[in-house]
Structure 1
Amino acid sequence: MQTEMNRLKLIWKVADKEAGQLLRTFLREEKRISKKALADIKFQGGQLTVNGEEVTVRYCIRAGDEVEVLFPAEEVSAGIVPVNRPLPIVFEDDYLLVINKPSALATIPSREHRESLAGAVIDYFQRNCIASTFHAVSRLDRDTSGLLMVAKYRYVHDLFVHASIGHPIARTYMALVHGKLTALSGTIDAPIARKSDSIIEREVSAEGQRAVTHFEVLEHYREATLVKVRLETGRTHQIRVHFSHIGHPLIGDTLYGGRKEGLNRHGLHSSEMVFTHPLTGKRHQLTCPLPRDMQEKISWMKNDPEDR
């Protein structure tokens, strides 16, 4: 017997101020369902009902109407291979997952790294009968650990994209950088662009997009600093590029001038995420402690006799 897959279903009550609109207008402008999504609902097996009766988008809604939208099942993106591996979930509801991503795991698969967080999420969806594909609301570099948000459905992802224009997800990171920062706090405001001779590496460049990183020193060691970092913008490799630019590359970040020194990846961890849920309106603050490898590196530096 085939298991019924869970699809996204949403129900709204029409308010007095919303009455008199076409259902199409209500869904597009009030609920921000895209034109493509409405087409998929019509042609890919979704359903629109008002007060339990199936209707078209030309229906004129009235105050008190109960509008129900059943979204179609989503096909898994080509190239994502499901992989059964532990998925450290920090937060989950019917619409979102927030995961503590381990280092050495790509967010999405590539030619070099076929196994990915996306594959682990798809496997989780399939085992839990969630009819969707992978929608990353935030991403992390392969070797960056910590909090990463995934929308369970395309519509939820679209809501976050729209909301981020005025109310972005506030992200805080912990970084281990070479050397002692003289300023206890500060802001790095320097544009970032892709290096002309690389498809991976970025650099500070006047031709780049504005990038703003705020930092606060948490602890000094003999030849390193633990820094709390808050992003105002979200450029690729932003934290790594900015700290390299000011002469303090991340420990382990050999791409941007760092040295491994006992840490087999760059010392960067997504430690806190604050966001307003686009469907419930609830404010969430999630935290995630430093992983073992960074804790051990800090412990070693604290116990370095020359550090005392």
Structure 2
Amino acid sequence: MDIVDLRVTEEHKNERIDKFLSTYNEEWSRTQVQQWIKEGIVKVNETEVKTNYKCQIDDHIVIHIPEPEPLDVVAEEMDLDIYYEDEDVLVVNKPKGMVVHPAPGHMSGTLVNGLMAHCKDLSGINGVLRPGIVHRIDKDTSGLLMVAKNDLAHESLVDQLVNKTVTRRYKAIVHGSIPHDNGTINAPIGRDKTDRQSMTVTNVSSKEAVTHFRVLERFHDYTFVECQLETGRTHQIRVHMKYIGFPLVGDPKYGPKKTLQINGQALHAGILGFIHPRTKEYLEFEAPLPNDFEEVLKEIRLKSQL
């Protein structure tokens, strides 16, 4: 059982406790928080409260988060695109359209299902639903992921992510012609108050987010860019590029509705580099652009020549 202990600051005065807690940790849904409150595992100043309780400055909130119920994640044979594998780590090129890990109501067809069939030894730190998963990319983003095959490797890779020493470079196509050749977006990201399924740049219940970008090709109405992550927030590149006025082509959540024909955002995690947990050698891998991304890029190039 995990115990979360926190204090309410002035910016959250008079905010409903269910809303406050669901924005405090992006992994907690508001429905889940409400259930915790009803079950009495959330206490404010050592007292149980209702879901509509209004937080006050210096309220002492303690949450006794129960252990997740074990779920049966079935191993499924898949044709995984493995770029590297040894006794400690595995690097896989995830195709667009594949979810990284199972969730209640969506327990099959994920990368984890395939990994469990491919190798039986995955780290257990992230629990039964996310064995071996150190970081993730969105369903409709393709590209490279590192997977831990034991807990020591997992801890090493997570430390590298925290210390910002992992190389993560993405290729993307965005709407608009970016006038400068490179730049850095340093803007905190948190849950969108009006849409719980979306993230946004905000100073409320947000986390530091830094994205570096450089222009690879510039067209009349589009730009082909490379983005390098310094942090790894949910939807970070998608949110940051929208924030500076250049949303990703095909992005159903953050981009315009009228866009080029591509199934999901034009975003590919093409380069991944990290220090091997055991040998301490720096490893770097590169995956080529998927076919649909290449086709859209060709279409843009042809149109720009007319």
How far apart are residue 283 of structure 1 and its match?
A: 0.8
Q: 1:253 to 1:112 in 2, by over 3 A?
A: farther
**Secondary structure of 1:256's match?**
coil
Report whether the alignment pairs 1:160 with 2:157: yes
Q: CA–CA distance in 2 between the matches of 1:86 and 1:146?
A: 15
How far apart are residue 221 of structure 1 and its match?
A: 2.2
Q: CA–CA distance in 1 between the matches of 2:75 and 2:145?
A: 18
* Structure 1 outlier segments of 4+, above 6 Å: none
Which residue identity is paired with 1:216? R
Q: CA–CA distance in 1 between the matches of 2:266 and 2:71?
A: 32
> Any idea what the Cα deviations from partners look like across 1:209-260, whole Å, max 9, x if unmatched?
1111100000012311110000111111000000111111101102012344
Q: CA–CA distance in 1 between the matches of 2:194 and 2:74?
A: 31
How far apart are residue 267 of structure 1 and its match?
A: 0.5
1:116 alignment partner in structure 2:
110
1:250 alignment partner in structure 2:
248
Do 2:123 and 2:154's aligned partners in 1 also have CA atoms closer than 8 Å?
no
How far apart are residue 109 of structure 1 and its match?
A: 1.5
Report whether the alignment pairs 1:211 with 2:206: no
Which residue identity is paired with 1:174? K
1:297 alignment partner in structure 2:
296
Map of 1:116-265 to 2, 5 A cutoff?
116-126=110-120, 130=121, 134-166=131-163, 168-207=165-204, 208-259=206-257, 260-265=259-264
Q: CA–CA distance in 2 between the matches of 1:136 and 1:157?
A: 8
Q: CA–CA distance in 1 between the matches of 2:148 and 2:252?
A: 32
Aligned to 2:86, which of 87, 93, 105? 93
Which residue identity is paired with 1:223? D
Q: 1:262 to 1:113 in 2, by over 3 A?
A: farther
Do 1:106 and 1:142's aligned partners in 2 also have CA atoms closer than 8 Å?
yes
Please, which runs of 5 or more residues in structure 1 have no aligned partner? 1-76
Which residue identity is paired with 1:118? V
Q: CA–CA distance in 2 between the matches of 1:132 and 1:161?
A: 12
1:282 alignment partner in structure 2:
281
How far apart are residue 300 of structure 1 and its match?
A: 1.2
**Secondary structure of 2:196's match?**
coil
Q: CA–CA distance in 1 between the matches of 2:162 and 2:201?
A: 24
> Any idea what the Cα deviations from partners look like across 1:255-301, whole Å, max 9, x if unmatched?
01234421111010001011111211111111111111100111111
Q: CA–CA distance in 2 between the matches of 1:164 and 1:112?
A: 29
- Bigger radius of gyration, 1 or 2? 1
Q: CA–CA distance in 1 between the matches of 2:250 and 2:210?
A: 23
How far apart are residue 199 of structure 1 and its match?
A: 3.2
1:266 alignment partner in structure 2:
265
Q: CA–CA distance in 2 between the matches of 1:166 and 1:125?
A: 28
Tell me the TM-score normalised to structure 1 length. Answer: 0.70
Q: CA–CA distance in 1 between the matches of 2:141 and 2:154?
A: 22
> Any idea what the Cα deviations from partners look like across 1:133-158, whole Å, max 9, x if unmatched?
62112210111100001111122102
Q: CA–CA distance in 1 between the matches of 2:122 and 2:249?
A: 41
1:33 alignment partner in structure 2:
none
Do 1:108 and 1:117's aligned partners in 2 also have CA atoms closer than 8 Å?
yes
1:73 alignment partner in structure 2:
none
- Equivalenced residues, count: 228
CA RMSD of aligned residues (A): 1.8
Tell me the TM-score normalised to structure 2 length. Answer: 0.70
Of all paired residues, the percent bearing the same amino acid is 37
Q: 1:278 to 1:167 in 2, by over 3 A?
A: farther
Do 1:263 and 1:297's aligned partners in 2 also have CA atoms closer than 8 Å?
yes
Which residue identity is paired with 2:140? D
Report whether the alignment pairs 1:78 with 2:71: yes
Please, which runs of 5 or more residues in structure 2 have no aligned partner? 1-69, 125-130
Q: CA–CA distance in 2 between the matches of 1:298 and 1:221?
A: 10
Do 2:164 and 2:230's aligned partners in 1 also have CA atoms closer than 8 Å?
no
Q: CA–CA distance in 2 between the matches of 1:176 and 1:131?
A: 34
